[in-house]
Structure 1
């Protein structure tokens, strides 16, 4: 306070020097003092209630943010689970299609083998004629590189038709 007064005096009235400042405590009447204290008490209560309200609002806002974050996390989790389920369902369908294709291919191969075998059996049945059997017999004899001549032919299998030809 002394410095503020000295600054003002130096500007307004040069030459005045303030050596010390003494402040006397004033006496405030009791009614004014009580009114002032009551007003200060009310203002403090209002400030406290405002601060409490701000704290409650912040807590509510924080709780809303936490709920919002939890809902967002739940939605993301739900979407991921649905995506995984759809991927597995797609994989299962694809596997079923592959299995059906494999079964159809195997059935087709089995049917074609059966048809081939049946046709071969039918062809063999048609081939089994005395003429064909005689041709095969002659081919087998012709393929034999050893021919025995003489009165005794040991251990040689000879068809009775063959014997008729040589006699």
Structure 2
């Protein structure tokens, strides 16, 4: 601040003169540059150099802190962006899974309804067949079936009398009564029974 010392000295002297000697007016002040000893100058320059180094270090530290803060903000922003993208991707996957689950539920419901409908139809068919069989399976119909079955026997022998047969009399039903008095002695039912039935 050596360039300002002239004005500062003039103002200070004029203030004192105005106070203690009002008739004195200071027109100008000129301070010559002092001669500083070499040792003092070197110390001053070293101090200035150290102070400059400190200021530079402080500035560098502030710059480094600002850079670190900027990197931190960038990292936070990037992490937030990645988290947001991950959240959207996860929601999309969940929606796809939910859609697949709903599709499977619909397919299962359709399958169950179809199987139930088939089971109901099969039950209805079985019940109707049972009702039809009740009406159809009369003694006369069974006798007709027996006659047709016996007509397929490969061999039939006729004789003077039938003493005993290894067939159930209930199976023969009215057919035996119908054949009473005829000459039947031996029946081989190899085709239907797989063995000979003899008297």
For the aligned pair, the TM-score class normalised by the smaller chain equals 0.5 to 0.7
CA distance 1:73–1:159, shift in 2 (3 Å):
closer
Structure number with larger C-alpha Rg: 2
RMSD: 3.1
Relative to the length of structure 2, the TM-score reads 0.55
Whichever structure has more helix as a proportion of its residues is: 1
| 2:140 pairs with 1:134 | no
Structure 2 residue 56 is matched with structure 1 residue 50: no
Unaligned runs of 5+ in 1: 1-27
Between the two structures, name the one with larger relative contact order (CA 8 Å, sep ≥ 6).
2
Question: Equivalent residue for 1:75?
Answer: 84
The answer to whether the aligner puts 1:114 opposite 2:144 as a matched pair is no
Most deviating of 57-66 and 146-155: 146-155
Displacement of 1:131 in angstroms is 3.5
Q: What SS does structure 2 have at the residue aligned with 1:147?
A: strand
Aligned pairs for 1:1-167 (under 5 A) are: 29-30=35-36, 33=41, 37=45, 46-153=55-162, 154-155=164-165, 158-160=172-174, 163-164=177-178
Inter-partner Cα distance in structure 2 for 1:86 and 1:146: 77
Number of residue-to-residue matches in the alignment: 139
Paired residue for 1:17? none
Distance in 2, matches of 1:140 and 1:46, equals 124
From the two aligned structures, give the one with the greater strand fraction. 2
Gaps of 5+ in 2: 1-33, 182-199
Secondary structure of the residue that 1:137 maps to in structure 2? helix
Offset from partner CA, 1:25-67 (integer Å, 9 cap, x none):
xxx8218949x74776665555444333322221111111111
TM-score normalised per structure 1? 0.64
